Structure 1
Amino acid sequence: MIRPYTPADKEQLLYLLRLNTPTYFAAEEESDFAAYLEEHVEDYFVVEESGKLVGAGGINYFPDEHLARISWDMIHPNFQGKGIGTQLLQHRLQVISSKPGINMVIVRTTQLVYRFYEKVGFALEQTEKDFWAKGLDLYQMRMPLAKV
C-alpha cells in the first residue's frame, strides 16, 4: 500500500535510512533527511506491506522551472528487487503528471542506483565524484514528462 507520509512515520523512516547506510546513504545524511521530513516535504509517500514500512520516496516541485524532482528514495534491504521501488516511482510519476505546468522530472542519485532510473527513461545529465560523501557520486538524471 502506498500512502502519504505523516509525521508519525518519521522514526520508522530514519530507521529505514539507517538500514540503507552506508550502502546507499552516508551517515551524515541522516540529519539532512530529518530536516527534510520536518521542513521540506511537499509530497512524500511511504510503502507499507503487512503493516510494516518497507519503502518511501518524495517529490519536490519547482514550478518556475516547470520541474519536479524525485527525492529521498529508499527501500528496506529485505524488500529490494521485488518491484516496490518501481511501483513507488510510477505512483509519483502519476502524481507529477497531474500537476499543471510540470513537464520535466529530475532525480539526483548515485552510481549505485542510476540504472534503475535509466530503465524508466531517465537520461544521465551530469555526474560529480564524491558529491554525497566519499564513494557516493552524484548522478543527476532528467526525463521529459511526456515519456510517463
Structure 2
Amino acid sequence: MKSKAPSILSGDIVVTGSIVSEGEIQLDGSVDGDIRAGSLIVGEEASITGEVMAETVVVRGRVTGSLHARQVQLAATARVEGDIVHAALSVESGAFFDGHCRHSSDPLSATKSGPANDKAGKASKSDAGAPPKPAGLSPVEPASKSGV
C-alpha cells in the first residue's frame, strides 16, 4: 500500500456532509457531518458536529458527537461533548469532556447500534423490548439536530 500525504482542511473550510478517507485528515475548519478516517487530527480552532470513526484521533478543538477510535487523545485545548468508545484513551489536564467513555477491544465495530452491542454488531434478543441502558445517548443526537 502506498503512503499518502495527509488531507488538510484549512481553517476557512466549512463542510456540510460526511467525509470518508482511508488516510490521515488534519482538520482546521468546521464539519457538520460524520467523519470516517484512518487517522484524524482536530486542530485547536476546528469543530465537528457529528460522529467520528477512526483508528487514531487527536482532538485539540471541539467535537460535538460520538468518537469511536482505537486510540483517542484529548489535548489540553480539547472540548468534547459526546460519548467516546476507545481501546486506548489519553486525556491531558485542561481538556473538557462531557459524556460517557467506554473501553472496547474493537471500538470501530461498536457503532450507533448501541453501547451494549460490543461484539461486532451482534445484539442479544433480550435487548429488543428493553430500553437502552444509557438512556441519554439516543435522544441527545436528534435533539441537537432539530434546532438546525
Which has the larger helix fraction?
1
RCO (CA 8 Å, sep 6+): is it higher in 1 or 2?
Answer: 1
Q: TM-score, normalised by structure 1?
A: 0.26
Report the structure number with the largest CA radius of gyration.
2
More strand by share: 2
What TM-score, normalized by structure 2, do the two folds share?
0.26
